[in-house]
């Protein structure tokens, strides 16, 4: 559409030039000014008439989606795609859910677990893969803890609460070895930033936390003793599972199919830029707030590992497998009335991976 605008302006310019020549008038400074004014006015009118399509996105200020949108706008990918991205910064995923349900945003990040639960309650939301980056159980470099069995009798901190997905999956895998971590370890729960501080201070033997906090702990010399991507594979997943994705209303998506396609394409380009350009990470450093030396390199590595690259069908199959595991161990407190992954959970009209 923007190429048409430029061509339309150029056509007006040619017609003005032709009319000037037909009248035998020399193109003086006055006529040049008139010509430029006509072209500028025409271009402005056309640009206004084809304003970019707006998409309202809920982001967390320090989250990875905020990083990507920063890159996207810095490189003009939104203008190239003809989209106007309006961001609303929120403090938590829960706030994003409220914003989506109230209609104040069009899209947010959440997981397929919540989407299936909401669909069972009558809400027509859908999920499209965004990231397969998962956390890990982190321990000090000299810790004797090497696996799940070594967590027995140890103080294990869990980021989030009793229904955190990674915690439930870790418990499910431990059960297969007749280990009940909930009963056989000293469990404490807390917010990720607080647990990061306590981990660095050595207050806990091990900490299960989200991938970006793991990156910070790695950069400070701690190590991953149980990686959650290994846990999900041990529970039956065939590959890295995108548990976090874009979430939006299915009816809205049907009305805005082209807009969504262009948004997904632009964010994919932003991911590609982050994949090949270390300089962009230096520019994002203040937003990421990495404190330790070398932390940006770890962030970059873990972020790139989490970019979904599998066919959508593979993601759906693994989500179905893990959902059954989570429903069994988490019960209705976690999944509500939905005992199986809803067949309509995934948005299937998006671009193929």
Q: What is the CATH number of the domain that holds 64?
A: 3.40.190.10
User: Residues 87, 125: one domain?
Assistant: yes
Is 340 contained in some domain?
A: no
Q: What is the mean pLDDT of residues 155-166?
A: 95
pLDDT of residue 50: 53
pLDDT in tens, 282-328: 888 888 877 777 888 999 999 999 999 999 999 999 999 999 999 99
Whether 16 shows a pLDDT value over 60: the answer reads no
Residues 150 and 217 in one domain: yes
42 and 97, same structural domain? no
* Same domain as 227, residue 142: yes
For residue 8, give the nearest of 42, 58, 56 by alpha carbon.
42
Report the pLDDT value the prediction gives residue 224, as an integer from 0 to 100. 97
Q: Per-residue DSSP letters for 280-322?
A: HHHHHHHHHT--STTHHHHHHHHHHHTS--S-HHHHHHHHHHH
Residue 151 pLDDT > 90, yes or no?
Answer: yes
Parent domain of 94: 53-132+240-335
* pLDDT tens digits for range 177-189: 999 999 999 999 9
Structural domain ending residue among the three candidates 183, 210, 234: 234
Same domain? For 106 and 247 the reply is yes
Residues 175 and 309 occupy one common structural domain: no
Q: Phi/psi of residue 127, each to 5°? A: -130, 140
- What's the confidence (pLDDT) of residue 352? 55
Residue 38's pLDDT is: 45
- With CA atoms as reference, report the closest residue to 62 among 54, 52, 70, 53: 70
For residue 323, the 8-state DSSP code is: H
147 and 116 in a common domain: no
pTM strictly above 0.85: no
d(CA 341, CA 112): 8
Q: pLDDT value at position 45?
A: 40
The answer to whether the Cα torsion of 215, 216, 218, 224 is positive or negative is negative
Q: Which of 234, 264, 286 is the last residue of a domain?
A: 234
Same-domain status, 248 and 196: no
Q: Both tokens of residue 220?
A: 């400070």
Which pLDDT score, from 0 to 100, does residue 24 have?
Answer: 45
Mean pLDDT for the chain overall: 87
Give domain status of residue 345, yes or no: no
The per-residue b/e assignment along 283-315, b for 16 or more CB within 10 angstroms, e otherwise, is ebeeebebeeeebbebbbebbeebbbebebebb
At 25, the pLDDT band (50, 70, 90 cuts) reads very low
In this prediction, residue 266 has a pLDDT band, given cuts at 50, 70 and 90, of very high
* 341, part of any domain: no
Exposed/middle/buried for residue 247 (C-beta within 10 Å: 0-12, 13-18, 19+): buried
227 and 251 co-located in one domain? no
- Indicate whether 121 belongs to any domain: yes
Q: DSSP readout, 56-117?
A: EEEEETTSHHHHHHHHHHHTTHHHHHTEEEEEEEESSHHHHHHHHHHTS-SBEEEEHHHHHH
Q: Do 230 and 149 share a structural domain? A: yes
How many independent structural domains does the chain possess?
3
Structural domain contains residue 166: yes
**Could you tell me if residue 98 is inside a domain?**
yes
Six token digits for residue 51: 């304003």
Question: What local confidence, expressed as pLDDT, does residue 92 receive?
Answer: 84
Per-residue confidence (pLDDT) for residue 290, from 0 to 100 = 76
| Whole-number Å distance between alpha carbons of 305 and 263 | 22
Is 28 found in the same domain as 78?
no
Q: Are residues 297 and 251 in the same domain?
A: yes
Domain assignment present for 348: no
Residue 6 lies in a domain: yes
What count of other Cβ atoms lies within 10 Å of the Cβ of residue 230? 13
Q: What is the pLDDT of residues 62-118, one digit of tens each?
A: 789 999 999 999 999 999 999 999 999 998 888 999 999 999 999 999 999 999 999
């Amino acid at each position: 559409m923007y190429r048409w605008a430029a061509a339309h302006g150029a056509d007006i310019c040619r017609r003005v030039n032709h009319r000037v020549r037909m009248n035998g008038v020399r193109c003086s400074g006055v006529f040049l000014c008139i010509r430029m004014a006509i072209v500028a006015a025409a271009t402005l009118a056309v640009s206004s008439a084809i304003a970019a399509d707006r998409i309202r996105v809920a982001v967390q200020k320090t989250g990875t989606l905020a990083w990507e949108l920063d890159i996207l706008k810095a490189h003009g990918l939104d203008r190239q795609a003809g989209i106007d991205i309006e961001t609303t910064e929120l403090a938590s995923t829960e706030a994003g859910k409220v914003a989506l349900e109230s209609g104040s945003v069009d899209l947010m990040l959440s997981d397929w677990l919540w989407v299936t639960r909401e669909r069972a309650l009558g809400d027509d939301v859908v999920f499209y893969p965004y990231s397969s980056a998962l956390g890990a159980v982190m321990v000090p470099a000299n810790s004797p803890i090497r696996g799940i069995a070594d967590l027995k009798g140890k103080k294990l901190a869990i980021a989030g609460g009793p229904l955190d997905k990674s915690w439930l999956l870790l418990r499910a895998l431990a059960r297969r070895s007749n280990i009940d971590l909930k009963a056989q370890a000293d469990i404490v729960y807390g917010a990720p930033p607080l647990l990061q501080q306590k981990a660095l201070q050595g207050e806990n033997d091990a900490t299960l936390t989200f991938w970006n906090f793991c990156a910070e702990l790695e950069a400070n010399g701690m190590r991953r003793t149980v990686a959650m991507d290994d846990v999900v594979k041990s529970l039956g997943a065939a590959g890295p599972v995108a548990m976090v994705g874009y979430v939006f209303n299915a009816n809205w998506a049907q009305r805005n199919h082209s807009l969504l396609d262009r948004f997904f394409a632009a964010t994919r380009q932003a991911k590609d830029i982050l994949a090949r350009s270390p300089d962009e990470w230096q520019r994002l450093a203040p937003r990421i707030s990495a404190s330790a030396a070398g932390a940006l390199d770890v962030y970059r590595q873990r972020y790139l590992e989490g970019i979904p690259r599998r066919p959508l069908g593979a993601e759906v199959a693994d989500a179905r497998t893990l959902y059954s595991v989570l429903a069994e161990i988490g019960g209705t407190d976690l999944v509500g009335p939905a005992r199986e992954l809803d067949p309509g959970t995934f948005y299937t009209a998006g671009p193929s991976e």
